[in-house]
Amino acid sequence: MVYYESLFREMLKGQQLRRPAMKKNEPAFFQRLEQAMDTHREKIRLNVLKPRWDDDVLDLTTSDFLSLSRTGRIREAFLAELARCGDFRLSASGSRVQYGNYEYIVEVEHEIAAFHGADTAWICHSGFYANIGILEAIALPGDAIVFDEFSHASTGVGMKVSLAAHKLSFAHNSPDSLRDVLTSLKKLDSGFTTGEKSILICVESLYSMEGDLCPLKELVAVAKEVFPNGSAQFIVDEAHSNGVIGPNGSGLVQLLGLEKEIAIRVHMCSKALGSTGGVILCNQTVRSALAQYSRCLTYSGAPSVPMVASIRAGYQLLASGQTQKEQNHIQEMVRYFFDSLLDDPIWQEAVDEGLISVPLAEDHEARSVVSHVVPIKVKPGHDFSLFVHLAMANMNAYPMAYPVVPKGTALVRMLFHAHNTKEEVDSIIAAVGEWVEEMLAIERGESKNVLPSAMRKFHALQTANGWS
């Protein structure tokens, strides 16, 4: 079975209603859960665990941005690092505030902090936990959390466990909106001005759906303007910029030289680094507060030696400049993609007719750095059709719809990697172009079909295999 068939089979199987097929005597607990998921299945697609694909499928999906995982480079570096660890104990056998604070993890944290120009680094199990642990610990009772409306789910979960009294969003990447929210807090409670209360501002260096960079300098200036006493501080999630943006892949904060302005940075090792885990960069005050107040980070066994060794292996590749070629190649591929689509008459016709849009392509020459996360925006509903078309052309780029992206919007997200080639970019342009031509003909009433060919084939497969 070709990859797209196994993918479709799993996706469709996951959408079959389960509650009506359950026996009456099955425990009410499971019936209730299936009922809840059936409601979801009927309204929108239910998430399913997808089969893994081979390297011959054109990769527009994985987080292996620097290709360190696919090429085996991170595995080699990890095994060499592990060999240097000698007779290590596999388990940390305790949390960081107990037995788990072993010498090797502390040493690697010192190295990572130095690489990032930070006072300290804290390695934890994942970036998701890092974000939860920070918001759990650092916002004190009465404080406020102000977050970009497109913040990651981990920030949302962190806010649920946080003691902050106010949780307010500002419009995506908008300094003006941030100013409005901060000013409203200033009026609401004089404690923010006197320094009795603090504000944590959560942003991401590069947004995982929009693909745009954070205007961090402007946002920092706004926070200083409204609260010159420093009661408003930033948490910058560098999940998508780690390894890909900034000097030696050190991230956006370092690209902009804002190390001293940002209280907390979070780097994720599960993406470009090809490893796993999260790293919290902060000063000693924040580190002590994490140790004191974050149950998420301290009521949990510390990361093991192999995990820390894999993180060190990745960081050594970055620090030694061995990923610079890959970092440059990604920039080149994205710019080639933008130039190609801007030169393609079919794409431009589709943009003019409102069928698709790629806002990041516009004026990309004026930007010194481009993002490797490129959304192709489409009308809601068309995301799935474009995804199916690309999958049948052996390309994997996932569709994103509400609630992952705001209501009334949809996109197909393309993630570019060091292993993507110009020939692959040409084939993406051609494949999207074919879909666009069919869709334009349908929308103009010039086609006898109501669905594009890929969707017709999709439904035929569904019927022939009884997948629905």
Find the binding residues for ligand PLP in span 237-266 (CB under 6 A): 237, 239
H/E stretch holding 356? strand 356-357
State whether residue 201 is helix, strand or coil: strand
Nearest Cα to 122, choosing from 138, 135, 134?
A: 134
Q: Report the residue number, 124 or 355, with the smaller CB distance to ligand PLP.
A: 124
As a 3-state breakdown, the chain gives helix, strand, coil percent values, each rounded to 5, of 50, 15, 40
- The CA distance from 113 to 122, in Å, is 9
Q: Which amino acid is at 210?
A: E
- Residue nearer to ligand PLP on the CB measure, 271 or 377: 271
Among 8, 65, 78, 128, binds ligand PLP (CB under 6 A): 128
Distance in angstroms (rounded) separating the CA atoms of residues 439 and 355 = 8
Residue 154 as a binder of ligand PLP (CB under 6 A): the answer is: yes
Which position among 100, 127, 211, 249 is part of the footprint of ligand PLP (CB under 6 A)?
127
CB of 252 to ligand PLP, least distance (A): 12
**Which C-beta is closer to ligand PLP: that of 127 or that of 375?**
127
Residue 239 or 290 having the CB closest to ligand PLP: 239
Give the chain's largest Cα–Cα span: 71
Q: Does 158 help bind ligand PLP (rule: CB under 6 A)?
A: no
Site map (CB under 6 A) of ligand PLP, residues 203-242, x = contact? -x---x----------------------------x-x---
**The residue type at 234:** F
Q: Which residue is nearest to ligand PLP (CB)?
A: 127
Exposure string over 432-463, b if 16+ CB within 10 A, otherwise e = bbbbbebbbeeeeeeeeeeebebbeebeebee
Applying CB under 6 A, the site for ligand PLP has a residue count of 13
Structure tokens at 85: 């660890």
- For ligand PLP, the closer CB: 12 or 239: 239
Q: Which of residues 67-126 bind ligand PLP (CB under 6 A)?
A: 126
Choice between 102 and 128, CB closer to ligand PLP: 128
| Residue owning tokens 């399913």 | 48
Strands 199-204, 232-237: pairing is parallel
State which of positions 273-302 bind ligand PLP (CB under 6 A): 278
Out of 268, 272, 281, 309, point to the residue binding ligand PLP (CB under 6 A). 268
Work out whether 323 is an interface residue with ligand PLP (CB under 6 A): no
**Contact by Cβ (8 Å): 149, 279:** no
Query: Interacting stretch for ligand PLP, rule CB under 6 A, among 71-79, 127-135, 372-380, 454-462?
Result: 127-135
Q: In whole angstroms, give the CA distance from residue 250 to residue 252.
A: 7
- Smaller CB distance to ligand PLP: residue 311 or 341? 311
Are the CB atoms for 293 and 137 separated by under 8 Å?
yes
Q: Which is nearer to ligand PLP, 185 or 311 (CB)?
A: 311
How far is 406 from 20, CA to CA, in rounded Å? Answer: 31
What is the smallest separation between the CB atom of 241 and ligand PLP, expressed in angstroms?
10
Query: Does residue 406 have a cis bond before it (omega within 30 degrees)?
Result: no
User: Which residue type is seen at 99?
Assistant: Y
Q: From CA 4, how far away is CA 207, in angstroms rounded?
A: 28
Amino acid identity, residue 449? N
| Distant-in-sequence, close-in-space partners of 379: CB < 8 Å, separation ≥ 6 | 354, 355, 410
Residue 271 Cβ, how far from ligand PLP at the closest point, in Å? 7
What are the angstrom distances between the C-alpha of 404 and each of 71, 399, 400, 401? 31, 10, 6, 6
The helix or strand, by DSSP H or E, that contains position 203, with its residue range, turns out to be strand 199-204
Q: Closest distance between ligand PLP and the C-beta of residue 187, in Å?
A: 31
Q: How far is the CB of 146 from ligand PLP (least distance, A)?
A: 17
Nearer residue to ligand PLP within complex by CB, 4 or 207: 207
Query: Which residue lies nearer to ligand PLP by CB, 193 or 270?
Result: 270
Residue from 96, 152, 377, 413 in contact with ligand PLP (CB under 6 A): 152
Q: Of 89 and 295, which CB lies nearer to ligand PLP in the complex structure?
A: 295
The pair of structure tokens assigned to 166 is: 């106010």
- Minimum distance of ligand PLP from residue 462's CB (angstroms): 30
Minimum distance, C-beta of residue 236 to ligand PLP, in the bound complex (Å): 10
User: Which residue from 139, 114, 95 is spatially nearest to 293, judged by alpha carbons?
Assistant: 139
The distance of closest approach from Cβ of residue 289 to ligand PLP in the complex, given in angstroms and rounded to an integer, is 21
Relative orientation angle of helices 284-293 and 127-138, to the nearest 10 degrees: 90
Give the residues lining the site for ligand PLP (CB under 6 A). 126-128, 131, 152, 154, 204, 208, 237, 239, 268, 270, 278
